Amino acid sequence: MAMRITKSIQFDAAHFIDAPEAAAAGRPYARMHGHSFTLEASVAGEPGETTGWVADFADLEAALGALRDTLDHTLLNEIDGLERPTLENLCRWAAGRLRTQFPGLVQVRVARPSIGEACVFDID
């Protein structure tokens, strides 16, 4: 029976969406602004016979902590790979960093809870 575990982190960061159509339309997200974000990662698989777990939560916590250290209190646009830091690109960026350590990674979710927005990246 496959199971799924999920761990989340929170971070605060600034960004702007440097899209010509956003600026032309006078969208507020074309200006620099900040959000509180939540990032969740889910790993699925069969619990190990000896451990009884899908993955060690301590390992997942450490990996997510490294992401938080990179993202928290930054201008996301200045991070390699996040020059256009949409929720979609944040999901892909985080998944790319977690996949090597967690081959059972099945989902990454990034949300801005205060404004009710989220993106879910289901990994094949």
Give pTM, 2 decimals: 0.91
Mean pLDDT of the chain: 93
Determine contact, residues 2/46, Cβ cutoff 8 Å: yes
- Angle (CA) 107-110-112 rounded to 5° is 155
80-116: per-residue pLDDT in tens? 999 999 999 999 999 999 999 999 999 999 999 999 9
d(CA 27, CA 66): 32
